[in-house]
Structure 1
Amino acid sequence: MAATATAAALVLALAGCDSGGAEPGPILRSGSASPEPRTALTFGVFGPEEEVSAFQGVVDNFNASAEDSEVRLRSWDDHDAMMADLRGQDGSAAKLPDVFMVSRADLAWLQEKQLNQPVDELLDERGVDFGDGYSRDALEAFSSDNRLQCMPYAISPMVIYLNKKLVDFTRMQKREISAPDPESDNPHWNFDQFTAAAQFATRPRKGTRGVYIDPTLTGLAPFIYSGGGQVFDDEEDPTSLAFSSEETRSALERTLQLLRDPHVTPTQQQLAKASALTWFERGRLGMIAGFRSLVPELRQVQGLDFDVMPMPSLDGGATVGDITGLCLSADAASSSAAADFLVHALSTEAVSRVVRSGYLVPANLEVAASDDFRQPGRLPNHSAVFSTSVRTLRVPPLIDTMPELEKAVSGSLDDLLNVPVLDLEAVTDKIDEESQPVLDPEGATEDAQ
């Protein structure tokens, strides 16, 4: 039953989250002398306008058939705006929506503040059959204290976006340059082929560059993991980054041969004028790393013919990304009514409706394999790459300080890619040292004393 509940939890998490807003008033039922007020619930979500509109449709469909409850949508432009609002200026949580969307990175905060309630038993009571409909990793990502805390809703793995006019695998093969099979339905490539593609896309006379990867933990992590290294010193309870380990240095050494090459990467002057994404949209950059949320924006760029590939493999497949889940508030107006809506939001029909907006990769495997997600005839040609990349997703430790951690090491990570003469040993030692006050503040204080 535990395994079944865990699997079920994953299927349900794909749908979204609750919101705040004014409470709807009681609705009178015709023919009833003593009408009972419907339970007022809120559903909180974040995302672009088109995606929020799809969530509104999910809410409207539920309200049209529900007899005992009424749901109102509350939305934010993005995750950061939502969490800033809910966490409050002084760190004390505001009243959460009854059902709400979160990033997996928020789970530590929710658990610490006891703001959510587990969903496994509530879903099991409603006959939710998870079966093989969700990946084990997604379910485990939202599990804590041997309970499924929230239901996985979307999984967004990092992939490589490429400009097909600059990175042409067919032309590369005709020139006897090693490249992936352009006709493959399940494309993959190694790091040497990735390097060759970056060099092929670099055309000095036309002012194009081959590749850009952000000098961040998120940007470098797939290459570190793929090369046999580790980002953290412990995957459960980290006290430091692990950039100074022999395995991670080895992976970085191989990766940086390309990412530090000034002939194939944008210059600092170019990046000061426009972002890497802007250069890509202008047709001046061959490849960038990104997530599914880029697809709708890139589809709007006139003349841009783009596709996606999985992250390149050094020694094995690896990528990173975010898992989004739907949670129930510990203070929900009615746990039973909130769970009923959660089941509706996680249904294949409801998830398909949101997926059609193009922004997310559903955790529901049935929807991920459907045309609602793959959208044949529309770019990118290989949308299945998002789904297959989920299999190699590396889930980071459950910590609540990733923004602070990224900020603490940002300068040194930038040095990795941009200083003219790199002392890899010294810089990686420094990165680990800078991470320790964030990951293990008590230990860092003791060491300083």
Structure 2
Amino acid sequence: METARKTEINYQALFHSSPVPAFILENTGTDIILIDFNPSVSKIIRNIGAHNLDQSVDVIFPGFYELNLNLRSCSPEHPSFVLEALYRSHQGLPATYLQFNCCYVDPNLLVVSVQNIHRKRQAESDLEKSRERLELAIAATGAGVWDWYLVTGEVVFEDEWAAILDYKPHEIKPHISSWEQLIHPEDKQRVYDMLDRHISGELPRYKSEHRLRAKGGNWVWVLDVGKIVERSTDGSPIRMTGTKVDISKHKKLEAELELLNRELEKRIEDRTQKLEQSKRSLLRNRQDLQKKSQHLTEVNNALKVLLKKSDENKADMEENMLANAKELILPYLEKIEEESLNETQLMYMGIVKTNLKEIVLPFSRKLTSKYLNLTPSELTVADLIKHGKSTKEIASLLYLSEKTIATQRKNIRKKIGINRKKVNLRTYLHTFQE
């Protein structure tokens, strides 16, 4: 009794610590229920948990009729089965290929192990697709496949390989000597060299363009490509496989293209001589044009200097006129207004001031545009200067140092274009339109 209990304990420990997902089912006669499972099961079948104990497999695997049918058919006469099927543990999750291995261990007990074979099935599917693509590619290019067993010299030539040379498959002896006898004498040594360099490991693959004799005696250009696919334990080559493609049309086009290239080179040479003559003539004309262009450039530069000087004089004249109107005329008009004038005199005085403003208005608008590149702080300082504030007073009002205000005064003079002129900044600012 003690031995049986220890065996049971050991079994339970082994079962629950096993990395192989497994669960135990009981056939009650009317149903098949889950009585135990190890933790590894949840890594594959996520919806199994303690709440599933004593539940029917129909509840645990709803809709998985294939598995449930195989479980119910398991009996002493059919004690085991292996089932590979797609299983989806939750709605919305991708289906996974699982392999169920069932073993009938007792009149009432079934042990089922589970393996995730999704990667295996995916790899098999990918391999099959690759094989199909390869077959389609070979068929599309009309390539003839060959398979060479280097130890025996036996070569399996596919039907297309023989067809390229107008032979029937049975007319080509399946041996490497058949191929060697068909190689053009001028190409043979070069082909052997390329083959030896690949077999020795110098080249990753064998590739050769050479001529083979067809059944009718004509020579067929082929592209032969192959690779060692099997080696012995000591590295010796055992098997090599590859393809052969008819490139006769390609070679013919190459020859025609070479002829065209030679003709084109001759034409280019003749044309080049004519172009050289034209080039020398154009060079002479260009030198004459350069001399004329240089003379025109000098004249143009002189005109630009004159126009620039004229614009500068015009600008200075406008600034002086505006400053004179502000400093030499308006102040006296204002003093006259302070005198006792009769109604007619006041009317005339108003007309004079209005006309004077109309005269200087175009100049003041141009000068006002110089304000546009001042910063907000420089605009504030300029306004205070205009209203008669000193550097010290401005510094006190704006809580800045006198040095900072002095720097801003310099910047203002520079931006409005009087940094090198002996013009009073406050007076000049008064010339701008309000």
TM range (shorter): under 0.3
User: Which protein is bigger by CA-based radius of gyration?
Assistant: 2
**TM-score (normalizing by structure 2):** 0.16
Q: Which has the higher helix share?
A: 2
